């Protein structure tokens, strides 16, 4: 057991899910699907990371070897912040294809709140809100992305 669930989540909940679905429907590898897979993978990984950060102490006591127990809270928080902000950078090329995708930038406010909550948390209980908001933000980002990309077809 290597404790690299974040890598598996990024690959399978991001890349495989999005690229695989697109490939099955189009029978070709689409760069936009790769970009979408990376965005989905970042959010899925961020959800797992914030959950594992919350559980570091109990996981250590029970012998679980998650990435967060291996690298510690500070490094895990740095990774979390990178993964939760990366989708905004990854969406930039989409603005040129579908300017309406810019709407996802409205989510920078909740992501800023999530970042502040995560970085200032002192107890695991305080991270529950960050976990919930990360999940909701992932959903809203996906809906905004879909709406923005859908707008170019009509």
4-18 pLDDT tens trace: 999 999 999 999 999
Q: What percent of the chain has pLDDT over 70?
A: 100
Q: Specify whether the CB–CB gap between 149 and 94 falls below 8 A.
A: yes
pLDDT score of 8: 97
Domains of the chain and any CATH numbers: 5-150 (1.20.120)
- What pTM, to 2 d.p., does this model score? 0.93
Q: What is the mean pLDDT of residues 13-29?
A: 97
What rounded mean pLDDT belongs to the chain?
94
Q: How far apart are CA 99 and CA 90, in angstroms?
A: 14
Above 90 in pLDDT, residue 154? no
pLDDT level of residue 127 (50, 70, 90 thresholds):
very high
Above 90 in pLDDT, residue 1? no
Q: Specify whether the CB–CB gap between 98 and 149 falls below 8 A.
A: yes
Q: What is the mean pLDDT of residues 102-122?
A: 92
Q: What is the mean pLDDT of residues 116-143?
A: 95
Q: How far apart are CA 109 and CA 131, in angstroms?
A: 16
Three-state secondary structure of the chain: CCCCHHHHHHHHHHHHHHHHHHHHHHCCCCHHHHHHHHHHHHHHHHHHHHHHHHCHHHHHHHCCCCHHHHHHHHHHHHHHHHHHHHHHHHHHHHHHHCHHHHHHHHHHHHHHHHHHHHHHCCCHHHHHHHHHHHHHHHHHHHHHHHHHHHCCCC
């Amino acid at each position: 057991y290597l404790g690299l669930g974040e890598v598996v989540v990024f690959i399978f909940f991001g890349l495989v899910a999005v690229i695989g679905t697109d490939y099955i429907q189009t029978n070709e590898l689409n760069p936009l699907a790769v970009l979408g897979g990376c965005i989905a993978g970042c959010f899925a990984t961020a959800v797992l990371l914030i959950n594992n950060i919350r559980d570091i102490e109990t996981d250590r006591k029970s012998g679980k070897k998650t990435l967060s127990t291996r690298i510690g809270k500070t490094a895990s928080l740095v990774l979390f912040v990178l993964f939760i902000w990366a989708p905004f950078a990854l969406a930039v090329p989409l603005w040129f294809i579908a300017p309406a995708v810019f709407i996802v930038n409205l989510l920078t406010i909740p992501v800023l709140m999530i970042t502040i909550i995560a970085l200032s948390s002192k107890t695991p209980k305080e991270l529950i809100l960050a976990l919930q908001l990360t999940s909701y933000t992932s959903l809203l980002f996906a809906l905004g992305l879909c709406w923005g990309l859908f707008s170019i077809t009509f």
